[in-house]
Structure 1
Amino acid sequence: MLSLDERNLYRLLLDLVAIPSVSFTEEENRAARFIASTLGELDCFRRDPSLLRLLPVEGDRLGRSIVAALVRGAPETRRTVILTGHFDVVDASACGHLSGLAFSPEEYTRRVGELEIPEQARSDLASGEYLFGRGVSDMKSGLALEMCLLGEISRREKYPANVLFLAVPDEENSSAGMRGAVPWLLRLREEWGLDYVACLNAEPSVGGRSSPAAVYVGTIGKLMPFFLCAGREAHVGDYYDGVSSSLMLAHLAMLLEGAPETAEEHDGERFPPAACLRFRDLVENYSVTLPERAVACYNVLTTSKTPARVLEEMKEAAERALDATLERLARHGERAGSRNRFAGRVLSFAELAERARNRTDGFDSALKDFAESLPDSLDERERCVEAASFLLDLSGEKGPLIVVGFLPPYYPPRLNRRETPGELSLLRAARRLMDEAAVSGVEISLVEVFKGIMDMSYMGFQGEPSELDVLAENMPLWGSAYRFPLDDLKRLGVPIANFGPLGKDDHKNSERLHLPFYLRTLPPLFSRFVELLAEEASRPSPGGE
C-alpha cells in the first residue's frame, strides 16, 4: 500500500532504485511503467482509470512517456498543486568495480567502503544513517515520497486541493520529459478543469544558508555556448604551416574555465562559474595531421543574463583566445625560423548560417537531408555540432576561425519575484511551514535559488519572448532536433518550490541519502507543505510578502 509509513516508503524507494533508468535508455520506459502500475493499485484509479495516464513525449526517439495521475480534492475545486520529479538517473560508471551494485543500495552501502570516497562520506557510512547508491538521492527518494503521499491523499475524505502527480524522464540529459510535459499540462488543465496554484518538486536539498533542510522558491537558468574551432591542417612535421584547433580550445579553457567573472550573483549568493562539459576534436580518422576542427561547450548558469549578453561575452572570449593562439604561433614560429602569419576571425552561428545559405542552392533541403542522415545514436548536442560543422563546409569559410553559438538544453531561470498573487501565496505557505517546523525543533531555511538546475525552469517563462530570438538564431537545428515550448510556457506561469530529502554527492560514487530525516522527519513536513500551498492559494493576497 502506498503510504508514508516508514517501511512502505523505504520499500518503494528500493524498488524504484532497482530500475537502472539511466537517461536516454529504454530503462526509463520501464521506470514509467512501474510507476504507473504502482499508482494503478490505488482505489481512486481503479474507480476512474482515466485519471492515471502515460503521456507520450512528442517526437521522442525512444518513445518515452510521462506519468500523470490526478487525485481530486474534496469538496470539489479547480485549485491544483502539482507534485513532480524525474525518474531518470545518471549512469553508475563512477562506482567503478561496484557499478553493478549501484542500483542495489543495501548491498552497495555494505561495500561502498571498498571505493575511494571522501572522508565525509566515510564518516557518514560509519554512522549507519546513510543509504548509498545511484538515484537514492537524485531523485528516486523524492519520487517515492510523492507517490506515497498521493496514496494517503487519495484515501482522505476531505482535501483542500486537487493533487496532480507528474513524473518525467530525461531531466539529467536535456529535460525532454518536462519540455514534453508542458503542452500536456495545458491540455489536462482544460480537460480536467484545473487551476495550477503551485508546483512542488522534491529534488534533494543542497543545503540552505543556515540549515541543511531548505525550501527553494526559484531555480537557476542554464545556457550552453559552444565554440567550433577551425584551424589550418598541416603535417606535424610542418607544424608552423598550420594552426591546431586543439590549441585554440586550450586558450579558451584558460580564459573561461572557472573564471570568476563568468559567475552571476543573486540575493547575495554567488553561483558557480563557467565549466567546460565537452572538449574534443572532430577528426574522423587518425593521422599525423594537426586537427583542423574541434569543439567545446560550456555550462553557464544564469539568473539575469540574457542569451544575447552571454553570446556577446562568449564572442569576446573567443576573440581573445584566437588572438592568443595566433600570437603564440607567431612568437614560437619565429624562433623556429617560420615567417607564417595568420589572421583569424570570430563568427556567430547565425552569421555562419547566413553565409552558408547565400552560397547554397536549396539550403533548407540540404540541411534537412543532412540532419535526417545523422545516426539515431547521436544526442541533441552531437546532432547540433554535426550540423554546425556541415554548415561550415557549405559556407566555404576557412580557418583560423571560431564559430560561437548555443547547444541544447536551455533552462530559463525561474525566480519568485513577489509580483503575482501565486508567488506571494507560495511564500506565505513556505514561511508557515518554517514556523511550524521550528516548533518541533526542525530548522528549515528559505533559499531564493536552487543552483543545481532542475525541471522547474519549465513552469513558465519570465523574460520577454524577443530574448529568445538570439538563442533560436544561434542554435543549430532549433525547432527540429531541439524544441523549446515558449508559447506554452507563457500560458503556464506556475509558482515553484522545491523541498526534498537531505542527500549528498549526487552523481558521484558516494551519492547517499540521510535515512532518519527522509523516513521520519520529512514525510509529515512535506505533507503539510502541500496542504499549506493549497490553503494559502485559496486566500486573498494581502498585497505584499
Structure 2
Amino acid sequence: MLSCRDELLLFTKQLVNIESIVNTSGEKEIAQVIHTMISSFPYFIDHPEQLVKSQTVDDEQERYNVLAYVKGTKGTSQKTIILMGHMDTVGIDDYNHLKEYATSPDSLKEHLKSETLSTDIKAHADSEDWMFGRGVLDMKSGLASHLYLLKYYSEHPDELDGNLVFVSECDEEDGSRGILSSLEQLSAWKQEQQFDYIAAINADFVSPRYEGDQNRYIYKGTTGKLLPSFFITGAETHVGSCFEGLDPNLIAAELTRQINYNPELCNEADGEITVPPVSLKQTDLKPSYTVQTALSAYVYYNFFIYSWSPKDVLIKLKEQAYIAFTQALLTFKERYQTYCQMSGEPFKEVKWEPNVLTYEEMNERLLDEHGTKYQNHMELFKSELLLDETLDTRMYAARVVEEAWKWMKNQSPTIILFYSSLYSPRVQLTGENENERHLMEALDHAVNQVQPYYPHPIVVRNFFPYISDMSFVALSDDDTGIKAVADNNPGWGTKHYVDYEKIRELNVPVINIGPYGYDAHKKYERMELTYSLEIVPNITNYLIKRLIN
C-alpha cells in the first residue's frame, strides 16, 4: 500500500483553494497552477515536451486542459492508461454568509461548527476524517489522487511497463468542452508515441445510493444523458372565448404528467436501472402579457439511459406524447361539455386530433414541400440567431423549431419532439473485447487487494449514475443512434456540434474510482479523508500495476 495520505491532502487543499468555478477565469487559473505543479516535478523538467497546456476549441471562454504522460522503462510495452478528472466546480453562492470560506476547507469547517447543523453533518464537522468545501468531493480530491500517481510514476518509471497519461480537463460542469478538446491531443499522442490506450480511469465522486448505505462504490461505464424536448403548438383564442382555441399549456401539463417520474421510462441493463425522467423546464413562449392564449409551449426533460440508444428514446417518447396529447384532448372535451351543460351554450364537436412529429420528420416534410427556399431561409435564420448571445443551446433549438413550424401548411395543434442539448453517451462495459475483460478482471483484483485495509464494503457496479466526462472517451452507440442525435437537434452544426467519431476512434473502456462523501454541488459538500486519500489511490495503483505490469 502506498503511504500517500499527507501528500495527497496537501495537493487537495492546493486545488480547492483555487476558486475554479465553471465559465469563469478560475478555470484558466487552476490550469496554470496544475501545469506549474507538474512542470516542477524532476521528470518533467527533463521531459518538458511531455507536458501540455492546451486551450479548448470552439469555445467562447478562454480556458485550458492540462495533459502529461510518463513513459515506463520497465519494458517495451506501449499499453497506456489514461487518468482523467475535471478541475472546474459549480458555483459558491449557496454558501451565503460563508461564501468567502467556501474554498478554504479549514476555515470553513471552523465556521460550520457554530452553525445549526443536522446530526450527521455536525458529526462530520467535528471529525478529523472529513473535509468540507467547494470541490473537495466533486472532484478535486480525485484529481489530486491522479496527480499524486503521475508524480509517483514520474519518480519510478522503472515500475511501469507501459505508459501513464494524465488529463485534467475543464468545463465538465457545463458543456464538456474540456474533454472533447482533449481528444485531439490524445489522438496525436496515440499516433506520435504509438500509445495503445487500454483503459481510462476517472476519479469523480461517489456517494451513498440510499439512506444508511455503507458501501463505497466503483463504477464500470457510465449512464448516458439526453435532453428530449417538446415544442407544442395550440390554437390561439381570446381568453373570453377559451373553448374556441386550445391552450398548448394544457398539452404541456399533460405531457409532464405522463413523463415525469414515469417508471416505464426507466432503462434496465445488467441488473441496474436508471432513475426516471424528470422535468427541467416547462414554459410557454409568449414574449409578454396579453389576453390571448399562448401560441406555443416548450418543455424538456432529463433522460438517463444505460442500454437504449437516442433513437430508441425518440420512439418511446413519441408514444408517450401521443398518450399525453390524447388525454389532453379528452380532458378538454369533457370540461367543454360540462361547461356547455352549465351555461346552456351549444356544444361543438372538438375538431383536433393528436399529432406528434420528430424534428427530423418535420424537417424532411418541409424540405419536400418547399425545397431550397425553406433550406436557405433556415440556414440564414440560424446564422442570424447565433448573434443572440442570450440564447443557450436549449432556447436556440426551440427558436429554430418555432421558425420552421411557420412553414408547415397544416397549422393544427402539434407536438414536435427533438433534442436540444449535448448528448452524453452511455458507456456499457460488456466484456466482449480483450481490453474490457482485462480491465474488469484487474479491477476485481485491485479491490480484493485493498478491501482488507478498509472497514466498509467496496462494491463494483456497472454504471456511474451521474453525468460525467467518462461519456466522451468511449462510445457504445452505433451510427444509427448517433445519427438520431444529429438529425433531431435543431442547433446541430451551428450552435452545437460534437465529433462523436473522435470518441469512437479513442473508444477506451472507462471506469470510475473516486472520492467518497456527501452533498456534492451543495453547501455541505464534504469528503471522507481515509477512503478518498488512502483507499482510492491505492485501488487505482493496484489496477495500474495489474494492467500494464
TM superposition score normalised by structure 2: 0.90
CA deviations on 1:468-514 (whole Å, 9 max, x unpaired) are 22222111122332223232223222121111111212222222111
Confirm whether residue 478 of structure 1 aligns to residue 492 of structure 2: yes
> Out of 389, 392, 407, which is 2:420 matched to?
407
> Out of 279, 282, 295, which is 1:279 matched to?
282
Contact 2:519 2:526 in 1 (8 A): yes
Tell me the residue number matched to 2:138: 138
Counterparts of 2:426 and 2:169 in 1: how far apart (Å)? 20
Letter paired with 1:184? Q
Counterparts of 1:366 and 1:112 in 2: how far apart (Å)? 58
CA deviations on 1:99-146 (whole Å, 9 max, x unpaired) are 454333333333446778765434433445322222211111111111
Counterparts of 1:57 and 1:424 in 2: how far apart (Å)? 33
The 1:393/1:493 distance shift into structure 2, 3 A limit, reads same
Counterparts of 2:157 and 2:58 in 1: how far apart (Å)? 40
Tell me the residue number matched to 1:495: 509
**Greater mean alpha carbon deviation, residues 314-323 or residues 111-120:** 111-120
How many equivalent residue pairs? 533
Report the 3-state secondary structure (helix = DSSP H, G, I; strand = E; otherwise coil) of the residue aligned with 1:501. coil
Tell me the residue number matched to 1:420: 433
Contact 1:211 1:444 in 2 (8 A): no
Q: Show structure 1 runs of 5+ residues with no match.
A: 536-545
> Out of 463, 468, 491, which is 1:454 matched to?
468
> Out of 431, 438, 447, which is 1:434 matched to?
447
Confirm whether residue 351 of structure 1 aligns to residue 364 of structure 2: no
Letter paired with 1:348? T
Report the 3-state secondary structure (helix = DSSP H, G, I; strand = E; otherwise coil) of the residue aligned with 1:137. helix
The 1:398/1:37 distance shift into structure 2, 3 A limit, reads farther
Contact 1:84 1:199 in 2 (8 A): yes
Deviation at 1:173, TM superposition (A): 1.9
Counterparts of 1:294 and 1:112 in 2: how far apart (Å)? 44
The 1:265/1:108 distance shift into structure 2, 3 A limit, reads same
Counterparts of 1:515 and 1:263 in 2: how far apart (Å)? 34
Letter paired with 1:21? S
Report the 3-state secondary structure (helix = DSSP H, G, I; strand = E; otherwise coil) of the residue aligned with 2:418. strand
Counterparts of 1:54 and 1:447 in 2: how far apart (Å)? 34
Report the 3-state secondary structure (helix = DSSP H, G, I; strand = E; otherwise coil) of the residue aligned with 1:408. coil
Counterparts of 1:308 and 1:14 in 2: how far apart (Å)? 44
Letter paired with 1:15? Q
Deviation at 1:41, TM superposition (A): 1.6
Tell me the residue number matched to 1:155: 155
Tell me the residue number matched to 1:296: 299
Contact 2:382 2:494 in 1 (8 A): no
Counterparts of 1:129 and 1:482 in 2: how far apart (Å)? 43
Instruction: Give matches, 1:184-223, under 5 Å.
Output: 184-207=185-208, 212-223=215-226
Instruction: Give matches, 1:80-95, under 5 Å.
Output: 80-95=80-95
> Out of 224, 230, 251, which is 2:233 matched to?
230
Report the 3-state secondary structure (helix = DSSP H, G, I; strand = E; otherwise coil) of the residue aligned with 2:204. coil
**Greater mean alpha carbon deviation, residues 139-148 or residues 484-493:** 484-493
Percent of aligned pairs with the same amino acid: 27
Tell me the residue number matched to 1:58: 57
Q: Show structure 2 runs of 5+ residues with no match.
A: none
Counterparts of 2:295 and 2:135 in 1: how far apart (Å)? 40
Counterparts of 1:396 and 1:37 in 2: how far apart (Å)? 61
Counterparts of 1:393 and 1:187 in 2: how far apart (Å)? 46
Counterparts of 1:242 and 1:25 in 2: how far apart (Å)? 46
**RMSD value, Cα:** 2.6
Deviation at 1:370, TM superposition (A): 2.6
Tell me the residue number matched to 2:548: 534
CA deviations on 1:49-78 (whole Å, 9 max, x unpaired) are 221112233212224332211112113542
TM superposition score normalised by structure 1: 0.90
Q: Which runs of 4+ in 1 moved over 6 A?
A: 113-117
The 1:257/1:65 distance shift into structure 2, 3 A limit, reads same
The 1:180/1:384 distance shift into structure 2, 3 A limit, reads farther
Letter paired with 1:532? R
Instruction: Give matches, 1:91-110, under 5 Å.
Output: 91-110=91-110
Counterparts of 1:523 and 1:145 in 2: how far apart (Å)? 6
Counterparts of 1:171 and 1:233 in 2: how far apart (Å)? 41
Instruction: Give matches, 1:491-530, under 5 Å.
Output: 491-530=505-544
Confirm whether residue 68 of structure 1 aligns to residue 92 of structure 2: no
Contact 2:200 2:509 in 1 (8 A): yes
Counterparts of 1:509 and 1:41 in 2: how far apart (Å)? 34
Contact 2:145 2:533 in 1 (8 A): no
Deviation at 1:412, TM superposition (A): 2.1
Deviation at 1:300, TM superposition (A): 1.5
Counterparts of 1:33 and 1:294 in 2: how far apart (Å)? 44
Counterparts of 1:342 and 1:102 in 2: how far apart (Å)? 58
The 1:259/1:461 distance shift into structure 2, 3 A limit, reads same
Deviation at 1:174, TM superposition (A): 2.7
**Greater mean alpha carbon deviation, residues 182-191 or residues 120-129:** 120-129
CA deviations on 1:386-429 (whole Å, 9 max, x unpaired) are 22222223435535211111122212221221111111111221
The 1:283/1:26 distance shift into structure 2, 3 A limit, reads farther
The 1:411/1:321 distance shift into structure 2, 3 A limit, reads same
Deviation at 1:310, TM superposition (A): 1.0
Contact 1:53 1:68 in 2 (8 A): yes
**Greater mean alpha carbon deviation, residues 357-366 or residues 113-122:** 113-122
Letter paired with 1:176? R
CA deviations on 1:417-466 (whole Å, 9 max, x unpaired) are 11111111112211211221134345422212111122222222233212
Counterparts of 2:5 and 2:398 in 1: how far apart (Å)? 48
Deviation at 1:271, TM superposition (A): 2.1
Letter paired with 1:194? F
Confirm whether residue 267 of structure 1 aligns to residue 270 of structure 2: yes
Tell me the residue number matched to 2:324: 321
The 1:81/1:403 distance shift into structure 2, 3 A limit, reads same
Tell me the residue number matched to 2:10: 11
Contact 1:231 1:244 in 2 (8 A): yes
Letter paired with 2:382? A
Contact 1:360 1:394 in 2 (8 A): no
Letter paired with 2:320? A
